[in-house]
Structures are given as structure tokens and as C-alpha cells.
Amino acid sequence: MKIKIFELERIQSLYENTVDYNLTESGFHPYALSELLSAEQQKDLLNLNLGYGQTNGAIPLRKQIASLYDCKNADQVLITNGSAEANYVLCKTLLETGDHVVMMVPNYMQIWGIAEDMGCKVDGFHLRQENSWKPDLKELRQLVTPETKMIVICNPNNPTGYVLSDAEMNEIVAIARENDTWIHSDEIYRGSELNEIEITSFYGLYDKCTVNGGLSKSYALPGLRIGYLMGPIGFADQAWAYHDYTSISTGIVSQYVAQIALETDNRSKILSRNRKLLQRNLAMFTEWVNSYQDLFEFVPPKAGGMAFLRYKLDINSSELSDWLRKEHSVFIISGDCYGMDGYIRIGIGERYDVLAEGLEIMKNALIERFKLEIA
């Protein structure tokens, strides 16, 4: 098998630990276990027997996740190693060679790569910057036919931070229903909304809908590698069959910590901490963008730990990213990773001081190289 390299993940893996200022993360500065667990819980963790546990996920954990979607059936949830495994298992469960997939773009491009490798035809419907990143639903309606197997959504969106309105979600559901097409919604950033109002999930709006999520982004716990996949009755059992051929199970330590994180009070504290961090950082970042006058076109995100902006410089986005990393030890994501040269993605969920220092270095570097006039 010769699968296409997943450029975004490969580039981050190669370089994120080699720089002074890693501004590529799309989540929030992660928690330490000591911040999350009480002394008693830390003691319990040390005495935890390191068995396999239940391979589709501990029942209490699956119940907690199901409850976040007003679902009373824990068997509709499959616990995976991050949402990345959830996406892979999803594709293997629903797609076959020759199927047609329509995917929101820009997007986290993992499903696109998996579907193409499986021999599927993939088309993109676009979020339009000129329309404040609202989706082009006329384009979606034109692309989806009764032969379309799945519509793929990312809401809140990576990398734009756009959040679909209820009307937009209802229109997407209507298009899917008319064509008897599955909807898959990547909701890994649910809980990171700047207005502190948790978005409506696609789950429950339509009987042929699956969603994935996890604790890596909105919960600032990427090291746990806890993701999940949900769907209608019977779907999780089908997906579990593929999960048996991938990682078999997630770590029992991670499942234990995840249950603590998802307790009602802890979940509220975690999401509040991260939203406040994002609100403060976005205000600072917006001021930084505005200081360049007309160099950037920027629509502020509504959720998520990243900013996606267009720049007006005569340089390829990968070259720009490489230069900043090599010469100034500041690492950002190029728009090329999304098939959108002329854009960059900057993580704004980092600690305030780290983000501020990295942006200041980046600012001075751009001024010197491109002879910019800054307000």
C-alpha cells in the first residue's frame, strides 16, 4: 500500500520539538496530571492494574460521552486512540472502493487522504473567506447526488474556527436526507466556543449521522489519546470490528483519567479555563494582525485554538513557514497543508507569554525581510 503522506501531521511531527516557539498546535496548552487529579486520585492511579480493559472502552466512560449527546445507550459509543483512529475506522466501516465523498474544505485532511487511498472519489465544498467563512451550500447541493455515500463536516472548523449556524446545519441535513447520504461530523473542537455556548451536535439531527470527538483539543489533554466515534444503533459494533484490527484498545490509564476529566464539575472547569485562554489570546492576536495594516485578511475564529489568515507577501506559504522555523525558531503551519497557498495557520491556544513572544519575533523578522511599515 502506498498511501499519500499526511503533510500536516508529518511536518508537525518532524519539527514541533525542534523550535523555541511552536505555534502550530490547534488545541490548548495541555494540562499536567497534577493539575487534574486530586492527591487521592493520583494514589489510585498508581495502584491501577495495567490490564487491557474493555477494548471498545470502559462502560462508565462511554456512558459519560453518550450523555454529552443526550444519548442513553453507551453501546453507541466506541472509544478510540484519538479522533484520528476514529476517522480511520469510520472510513473502513462506511466506505468502499468507488464511493463518492463530499467534504467541507478547508478541513483536517485525514479523511480525504484515507478515502482516496480506498479508491473513493472525493470532492470538496468550500467555506468562503469572502463570506466570513460561511459554507457554500449551493455548491454542496450541486455536488451531492443519490450516489454520494458521505458528506464530511468539521464543526467547529479546522482551520478557520467557523461554527455552522442552526440554519446551515439543517440545510446540510436536508441535502443528506434527500439523497439518502451519510453525514460524518468531526466535532473535536466542540466545547471551545468563544461565546461559551456549546454548539449543537449533528448527532440526533438525522438517523444516518456519525460524529467523532475526543479530549485532545477543547479539553487540552492530547497526551491521553482518547477519541471516540458515535453513530446510530449498531454502527459502533460494526466500527469495533475494524478497531480490533487497528489498536485493539486504548490505554487503561488514559481511560481512567478521561473519566475524571469528564465529570461534570471538572469538565466545566476545563472548558472554562480554555475558553478564557482563547478569549485573551485572540484579543492580543487581533491587535498583532491589525498592526500590519493591510498585510493580512483575517476573519476571527468563533471556536478552536487556531487562527487562519491570508497574507499579501510574494512568498510561498511553505517557504515562509520553513524560513521562520529555520532562521527564527518560530514554527507556523503553511496553507499548502490545506491546499491553500497564501494562507498560514497560527496556534493561539498556547500560553499567553509564549504566544506573545513568538509573535513578536515573527513580526520583527517579517519587518526586516519584507521592509514592512507597521502601525
Which residues in 107-162 belong to E strands, given as ranges?
A: 121-128, 134-135, 148-154
2 band by pLDDT with thresholds 50, 70 and 90:
confident
CB-based burial label for 105 (10 Å; 0-12, 13-18, 19+): buried
For position 4, what pLDDT does the model report? 84
For position 374, what pLDDT does the model report? 80
User: Phi, psi (5° rounding) for residue 52?
Assistant: -75, -35
The whole-number average pLDDT for the span 26-48 is 96
Say yes or no: 180 and 136 in one domain: yes
Percent of the chain with pLDDT over 70: 99
Which of residues 206, 230, 264 is at a domain's end?
Answer: 264
The whole-number average pLDDT for the span 199-217 is 97
Say yes or no: 94 and 179 in one domain: yes
C-alpha cell at 160: 478557520
Structural domain of 302:
7-32+266-368
pLDDT at residue 326 greater than cutoff 80: yes
Say yes or no: 153 and 56 in one domain: yes
Interatomic CA distance for residues 21 and 359, integer angstroms: 9
Say yes or no: 251 and 186 in one domain: yes
For position 373, what pLDDT does the model report? 80
CA nearest to 188, candidates 165, 220, 164: 220
In this prediction the pTM is 0.96
Interatomic CA distance for residues 145 and 340, integer angstroms: 27
Q: In what order do the strands lie in the sheet with 182-186?
A: 77-81, 226-230, 209-214, 182-186, 148-154, 100-105, 121-128, 134-135
The whole-number average pLDDT for the span 345-354 is 97
Q: Where are the alpha helices (DSSP H) in the chain?
A: 7-15, 33-36, 39-46, 59-67, 82-94, 110-117, 137-143, 166-179, 235-243, 252-261, 264-290, 317-328, 352-370
Query: β-strand 333-334 against 343-347: which pairing, if any?
Result: antiparallel
Domain assignment present for residue 1? The answer is no
Domain assignment present for residue 42? The answer is no
What digits encode the pLDDT tens for the residues 239-294? 999 999 999 999 999 999 999 999 999 999 999 999 999 999 999 999 999 999 88
How many domains does the chain contain in total?
2
Average pLDDT, the chain: 97
The whole-number average pLDDT for the span 98-122 is 97
16 band by pLDDT with thresholds 50, 70 and 90:
very high
CA nearest to 91, candidates 201, 225, 228, 184: 184
User: Phi, psi (5° rounding) for residue 41?
Assistant: -70, -35
* Number of Cβ within a 10 Å radius of residue 167: 9
Which of residues 234, 264, 294 is at a domain's end?
Answer: 264
Say yes or no: 330 and 360 in one domain: yes
Which of residues 264, 285, 320 is at a domain's end?
Answer: 264
Domain assignment present for residue 133? The answer is yes
For position 1, what pLDDT does the model report? 57
